[in-house]
Amino acid sequence: MDSETSNQTELSRKRILLEEIRQQRISDADLSVFDNLGLTPLTRELAIGVLKVESTARPRWFRLIEALLAVGDLLLSLLNGGRFRNLTVGQYQIGILTSLTWTRSARSTKNYVRRLICLLSRESSTRVFKIGVRRYLNGSDAPGLRSFAEFYNGQQDERFAISYHEALSEAAGLRLVVALDSARGSRVSSRESPERRELAVTVDCAVRDRFARICTYVSNSESLTAVVVLCSRRDRRVIYSTVVGCRTEPLPVLESGRLVGSLLKVPLFAAYLQCVPGALSRCYEDKPITIRSHGLQVAPRNADGTFRGQVTLEYAFANSINTIALQIIEELGVERFIRYLRRCGIYRPLPNTPLLALGTVRLTAWEVLGLFSPIIGDGHLSWIGDAKSGIYVPLNNGERLLTNGTVDAMRYLLECAGRYGTAKYLGSRRADSAGGKTGTSDGARDLWFVGGVDDDIYGMVWIGDSNEQPLVAIDDYLVSASRFAVPLWSDVVDAVLTRRS
């Protein structure tokens, strides 16, 4: 019992400390230094995270004591002819000898004194930190937060209540857009792009507020993670990306694939409409269906377990009816659908079975956005990213995959899903919504939504358990993308459009 009480006390202390780190504010003077030094977005986010951790653990008065001790040690070293020690004095907890190493400076008395003085300066300390991060990257554009924490503060003893990685995770909350922009060598400052920075803050607040509400309805909220990515069609780049909740490596969706479920109906219907003109005006029979997959007879059902009889293609897409999707892929041909996915840049192994229509494949956010891009991009494939960022753009990027007629039809279907289908919550909030498509994987392990914000911005959200466990609600209602992913996307849309109006 004493052991259990002790563990609970330790956990409570840990949570208090993490909250204190999260609430730490970065001074305007430091932010001004970031802008003046032209930090890459990646370095900027790391700098903010480290400063929050260090400000919690080592307040300014403590750093002053460290500086006085360093001066005393310097004098003793000069008198005794001993070697200099790697004492810490900078606001980033950068040792003096470490600073000399990073800047490739000789370990002379003169350089040691100069570095000691420089590290007491905001600008000099930040410049040295910038050099250290650049040396750490060494060709890697998007390092994991854990590996950075080990580089920066060494291996952590597991007996400690909180590791530097955990503290930095709370403080930094690294957005992948930071890594992407860093790979392109871009700069973000309050002077250069105030609208983008303000938009990120607005969307961040909306995402975190909604995520906190979702956590109150899910029993495994401690391992819940949400990812939001927004892209610009005109600029062909990510303009916002964030990860909230539990962070594991590799980051789900951003760095590793997850099951997409009905989200794959977007490229399926696009390929079908492209190959079967006039299909939008046809009716289909929503009825029990049996298919053969890998030598077995399978009878898939709709998500709600009901069959509706005669339905239009519009209704089938809006309400994500599985039996119609299976009829479509059999008429289209699995091989033809796979060829379309390949042209969209999906190079991973794909199951040669009609069940592919139900999303039995793992994809990353970048692959999902690539599949969606021909619809938002006037029929042309438009992947964001490049080899440097670790997102390998297909060689046929920019190829026209869909006709204008197919694009218009797909946009109409997405709007229908937002008006009266699985994403009707979005339509009830915004009548001008561009709609989108939900996706719920087996066991509600992954909740997706992909859609457009306006004629320029599009994106996706994903919610899931970081350990790939089924999401379980604390009430009697089912967990689905319609219930959680759509409201999150709706709040993102509200934040973007409200900020622009």
Boundaries of every domain in the chain = 2-175, 258-279+298-500
Q: Say what the pLDDT of residue 60 is.
A: 76
Chain segment 269-300, per-residue pLDDT in tens: 999 999 998 899 899 999 998 888 777 777 88
- Phi, psi for 400 (deg, rounded to 5): -80, 120
Picking from 256-270, 288-302, 413-427, which range would have the lowest pLDDT averaged per residue? Answer: 288-302
- Domain 258-279+298-500 CATH (choose: 3.40.640.10, 1.20.140.10, 3.40.950.10, 3.40.710.10): 3.40.710.10
Q: Say what the pLDDT of residue 38 is.
A: 78
Nearest to 473 by CA among 439, 443, 433, 436: 443
Coil/strand/helix, residue 56: helix
- Give pTM, 2 decimals: 0.65
- Phi, psi for 466 (deg, rounded to 5): -65, -20
Contacts of 484 (CB under 8 A, 6+ apart): 214, 217, 447, 463
Chain segment 321-334, per-residue pLDDT in tens: 999 999 999 999 99
Distance from C-alpha of 255 to C-alpha of 330, rounded to nearest angstrom: 32
Tell me the pLDDT band of 188, cut-offs 50, 70 and 90: very low
Mean pLDDT value across residues 56-76 = 80
* Amino acid occupying residue 279: A
Chain segment 384-400, per-residue pLDDT in tens: 864 445 567 888 989 99
138: pLDDT strictly greater than 60: no
Coil/strand/helix, residue 500: helix
Question: Torsion over CA of 337, 339, 342 and 347, rounded to 10 degrees?
Answer: 90
176: pLDDT strictly greater than 70: no
Tell me the pLDDT band of 53, cut-offs 50, 70 and 90: confident
Determine the number of helices (DSSP H) and then strands (DSSP E) in the chain.
19, 11
54: pLDDT strictly greater than 70: yes
Nearest to 461 by CA among 428, 493, 496: 493
Nearest to 381 by CA among 404, 406, 399, 363: 399
180: pLDDT strictly greater than 70: no
Q: Say what the pLDDT of residue 185 is.
A: 34
Q: For the purposes of burial, counting CB atoms within 10 Å of the CB of 81, is it exposed (0-12), middle (13-18) or buried (19 or more)?
A: exposed
Distance from C-alpha of 390 to C-alpha of 492, rounded to nearest angstrom: 26
Question: Is residue 164 within 8 Å of residue 201, measured between CB atoms?
Answer: no
Mean pLDDT value across residues 245-256 = 86
Q: Say what the pLDDT of residue 193 is.
A: 56
| Beta pairing partners, 327 | none
- Phi, psi for 35 (deg, rounded to 5): -70, -40
Question: Is residue 46 within 8 Å of residue 172, measured between CB atoms?
Answer: yes
Distance from C-alpha of 477 to C-alpha of 145, rounded to nearest angstrom: 36
Q: Say what the pLDDT of residue 430 is.
A: 84
Q: Say what the pLDDT of residue 172 is.
A: 60
Percent of the chain with pLDDT over 90: 38
CA distances from 409 to 81, 183, 272 (A): 81, 36, 11
Q: Say what the pLDDT of residue 485 is.
A: 97
Distance from C-alpha of 315 to C-alpha of 277, rounded to nearest angstrom: 18
Residue 392 DSSP code: -
Distance from C-alpha of 75 to C-alpha of 70, rounded to nearest angstrom: 9
Highest mean pLDDT among 134-143, 199-208, 483-492: 483-492
Reported as type and span, the H/E element at residue 139 is: none
Token pair of 251 as six digits: 């980051």
Coil/strand/helix, residue 459: strand
Chain segment 331-386, per-residue pLDDT in tens: 999 999 999 999 999 999 999 999 999 998 999 999 999 999 999 988 999 998 64
Q: Say what the pLDDT of residue 91 is.
A: 82
Distance from C-alpha of 35 to C-alpha of 31, rounded to nearest angstrom: 6
Residue 247 DSSP code: -
Residue 380 DSSP code: B
Reported as type and span, the H/E element at residue 225 is: strand 224-232
Token pair of 432 as six digits: 């001008």
Q: Say what the pLDDT of residue 361 is.
A: 94
The distance from CA 55 to its chain's CA centroid, rounded to whole angstroms, is 27
Tell me the pLDDT band of 470, cut-offs 50, 70 and 90: very high
